[in-house]
Amino acid sequence: MGRPICACNKNSVVEMKPVQNGVCVIDKHYDNGSILVRDGDLWGCEVCGTEMIMGFGKQYLSKEDKLVNLREHGIRIFDMGE
């Protein structure tokens, strides 16, 4: 898998850099509205500060009941929203 490219600079290519591996994303759009947690890698642009998550695993990490444990261990969690 190649590095993501940020479109912030129209004159040159800006490759995003890995910020953190194993961040959690709350997925509310799957499995009839239940909340599931996936993990992926957080990438960021050093020029404009844009961040993106990609490289998700094939399986979900947990259901909603384990979310509290993830937060207690300091794992960064992103919410995909409604």
**pLDDT 10s per residue in the chain (82 long)?**
688 999 998 888 899 999 988 888 877 665 566 677 788 899 999 999 999 999 887 777 666 555 656 666 666 766 765 5
Contact 14, 66 (CB under 8 A): no
* For the chain, domain boundaries: 5-79
Q: Output the pTM of the full model.
A: 0.70
Tell which residue, 21, 33, 12, has the closest CA to residue 80.
33
CA distance 51 to 43: 6
